[in-house]
Amino acid sequence: MNVPLWEIIGGYVLACIGLLILLFISLLWSWSLERRVKTKTREIQKMNESMFLYGELLKFSGDGIYRYTYDEGKILLANDGLVKILDFKGTSEELEGKYLKDVLIYTEEPGSVRRAANAQGEIHNYEYHFKTLKGEDRWVIHNSLITRDERTGKKCIDAVVKDITERKNSEKRLLDSEKTYREIFNANNDMFLIQDINDGRIIDFSKSTEELTGASREELIERGVSGFTPNDGIHTMDKIVEHLQRAKQGNVEAFEWAFVDKAGIVHPTETTLKLATINGVPRLLATVRDISERKKNEAEIEKYKNHLQELVVERTNQLEMANKELEAFAYSVSHDLQVPLRAINGFVQILSEEEVERLDDEGKRLLKIIKDNASKMGELINDLLTLSRSTRVAMKTAVTDLTGMFNEIVADLKDQLAERKVKFNLGEIPPVSVDPTLFKQAMTNLLINALKFTRTKPEAIIEFGSNRQKGETVFYIKDNGVGFDMRYKDKLFGVFQRLHSAEEFEGTGVGLAIVKRIVQRHGGSVWAEGKVGEGATFYFTLPNKGGEGA
């Protein structure tokens, strides 16, 4: 067979072309396949990355991310965040398949989250409270979506919950502390006002402010401090502004003020203005104490004080009257009582002189009794007058030498000293400031006393001296006479008090009372020590200052 060359050549050419075409097609396919594989690989890679990211996020997010069935609350998916929020003892895998009611304690009505969903089935920022199985409070914010589980086709909820328990607790603590502060603020009887540092505007105040002013919260804010200022010339806004200015500079301003309540009654106050930072803002804190009651009491005391002065004046007048009466009485005594006494004395004397022949011995004895009694009464009257005079006469003090005075008295008493053996011992006596006339009376009485009660001794020893005791000079007149029983020492200086019978020792019982009056008028004191049979010592002091004359 002969095949034409052109046919053979043509056949080869065709085959070549076919081969080329085939090669081209296979190259094209391979290229497209490679492309597709590349794309797919990239897709898968991308998907893997996303899946990884999703898984990681799910796992590590602090928030709880989970899916649970709408009807039963069965957890289908959960992350570690949820484990933590629920304080679940186990892994997130172990949580899956559990029912919510078994892993937490509801404190809200079931279904509250579902009911919070909007029309699109979305739940936004829903604050939800529950307790962990341990009983701890949990606050979360729910951001959820009602959806359908692809695998089971069941209605479910995909939820992201954020634990806000810590924030809630802080808020609560803040609220509590605010409440406590408020209570303290309001519980006090004092008014507390928080004022603007610049214009003194009232920003806040305690409940007591409303009670004390009788104004409502709105009125107080609206009328401000000026609305309650008396503006009486003393309590003016100008002065308030001055105080505010000073307080603003950091001074604690404490001053007495006043406010007018709604009824128009003015209440005196004690007000303190102080700079304080309240809620981070510098403010003036005013503490206002209503001192009406105290002022009332003070006024009362003042009244009593004035009344007391009146009383003193009244009593002084009464005392002066009494003194006048006493003077009148003394006058009467000195005159009226002496008149009949002189008559008795006189006529007894006349009788015993002129009618003595007609009297028998008994008559003479009776006459003598009358005479003795009359002269005794005369002494009493005289002593009483001396006592009264020693109280009444005005004192004129002069520096006096008591030793000289003592010697003078001894000289005056020379009649009584006749036929007596008396030894006088004089000690060191500093000069004193006394009324010489009055004091001589006192010294005389003391000396007469000493002489009288040493009468039974063969030799009387009378000592006049002084010594220092507890920073003051104590004078004494000491005798070696009959002494006295210390049990009666308080009676010694009383008027008409006597420790001896008239038969033993004569006397009216007024002498030492006079001594006491006179020493007391000089601001001094007098006392005595003694022992029966062993003499007596009479002490007196004369303060350098004090007494009526000083």
Partner 1 sequence: MMDQNLMEVLLVEDNLSDVELTLRALKKNNLANNVFVVHDGAEALDYINQTGKYKDKPNKRPKVILLDLKLPKLSGVEVLRALKAGETTKTIPVVVLTSSKEEPDIKECYKLGVNSYIVKPLDFETFVRVVSDLGLYWLLINKVPADNQ
Question: Which residues face 143 on adjacent strands?
Answer: 160
Q: What angle do CA 461, 462, 465 make, to 5 degrees?
A: 135
Rounded distance between C-alpha atoms, residue 532 and residue 72, angstroms: 119
Q: Give the residue, chosen from 335, 358, 414, 470, that forms a contact with partner 1 under the rule CB under 8 A.
A: 335
Q: Is 415 in the site for partner 1 (CB under 8 A)?
A: no
- CB nearer to partner 1: give 15 or 350: 350
Q: How far is the CB of 321 from partner 1 (least distance, A)?
A: 17
Q: How far is the CB of 293 from partner 1 (least distance, A)?
A: 55
- CB nearer to partner 1: give 150 or 353: 353
- CB nearer to partner 1: give 348 or 450: 348
- CB nearer to partner 1: give 236 or 397: 397
- CB nearer to partner 1: give 175 or 343: 343
Residue 414, both tokens: 């020379």
Q: Give the residue, chosen from 51, 311, 393, 502, that forms a contact with partner 1 under the rule CB under 8 A.
A: 393
Question: Residues in contact with partner 1, total (CB under 8 A)?
Answer: 22
What residues contact 264, with CB distance under 8 A and at least 6 apart?
none
Q: How far is the CB of 394 from partner 1 (least distance, A)?
A: 10
> Which range, of 56-64, 286-294, 348-356, 487-495, touches partner 1 by CB under 8 A?
348-356
What residues contact 187, with CB distance under 8 A and at least 6 apart?
none
- CB nearer to partner 1: give 57 or 343: 343
Rounded distance between C-alpha atoms, residue 159 and residue 12, angstroms: 73
Q: How far is the CB of 318 from partner 1 (least distance, A)?
A: 22
Q: Checking phi first, is residue 459 left (phi over 0); if not, alpha (psi -120 to 50) or beta?
A: beta
Rounded distance between C-alpha atoms, residue 282 and residue 191, angstroms: 19
Q: Give the residue, chosen from 237, 254, 341, 359, that forms a contact with partner 1 under the rule CB under 8 A.
A: 341
Q: Is 350 in the site for partner 1 (CB under 8 A)?
A: yes
Q: How far is the CB of 389 from partner 1 (least distance, A)?
A: 8
Q: Is 313 in the site for partner 1 (CB under 8 A)?
A: no
Strands 472-479 and 526-530: unpaired
- CB nearer to partner 1: give 47 or 350: 350
DSSP 8-state class, residue 395: P
Residue 172, both tokens: 């609560």
Within a 13 Å sphere around the CA of 14, how many CA atoms are in the beta-carbon half? Answer: 6
Q: Give the residue, chosen from 193, 291, 348, 384, that forms a contact with partner 1 under the rule CB under 8 A.
A: 348
> Which range, of 12-20, 221-229, 334-342, 360-368, touches partner 1 by CB under 8 A?
334-342
Q: Is 340 in the site for partner 1 (CB under 8 A)?
A: yes
Q: Give the residue, chosen from 9, 15, 252, 343, that forms a contact with partner 1 under the rule CB under 8 A.
A: 343
- CB nearer to partner 1: give 43 or 379: 379
Instruction: Look at the block and give the residue holding tokens 């040493």.
Output: 454
Q: Is 338 in the site for partner 1 (CB under 8 A)?
A: yes
Rounded distance between C-alpha atoms, residue 483 and residue 473, angstroms: 24
Q: Give the residue, chosen from 339, 399, 411, 418, that forms a contact with partner 1 under the rule CB under 8 A.
A: 339
Q: Give the residue, chosen from 148, 296, 305, 342, that forms a contact with partner 1 under the rule CB under 8 A.
A: 342
CA quadruple 25, 27, 30, 36: dihedral sign:
negative
31 alpha carbon, distance to own chain's centre: 101
Question: Which residues face 272 on adjacent strands?
Answer: 254, 287
**Closest to 273 (Cα-Cα) out of 243, 297, 298:** 243
Q: How far is the CB of 523 from partner 1 (least distance, A)?
A: 23
| Residues from 485 through 544 that contact partner 1 (CB under 8 A) | none
Q: Is 330 in the site for partner 1 (CB under 8 A)?
A: yes
> Which range, of 67-75, 92-100, 264-272, 343-351, touches partner 1 by CB under 8 A?
343-351
x/- site string to partner 1, residues 360 to 389, per CB under 8 A?
---------------x--x---x--x----
Distances (CA, A) of 84 to 80, 94, 173, 439: 6, 13, 24, 107
- CB nearer to partner 1: give 382 or 473: 382
155-163 sheet: strands from edge to edge: 75-78, 64-69, 155-163, 137-148, 122-131, 105-106
299 alpha carbon, distance to own chain's centre: 21
Q: How far is the CB of 339 from partner 1 (least distance, A)?
A: 5
Q: How far is the CB of 518 from partner 1 (least distance, A)?
A: 17
Q: Alpha helices, DSSP H only, in 393-488? A: 402-412, 414-417, 436-453
**Closest to 517 (Cα-Cα) out of 526, 505, 504:** 526
Q: Is 345 in the site for partner 1 (CB under 8 A)?
A: yes
Q: Give the residue, chosen from 331, 421, 469, 485, that forms a contact with partner 1 under the rule CB under 8 A.
A: 331
> Which range, of 102-110, 214-222, 252-260, 337-345, touches partner 1 by CB under 8 A?
337-345
What residues contact 39, with CB distance under 8 A and at least 6 apart?
none
- Could you list the residues that contact partner 1 (CB under 8 A)? 330-331, 334-336, 338-343, 345-350, 375, 378, 382, 385, 393
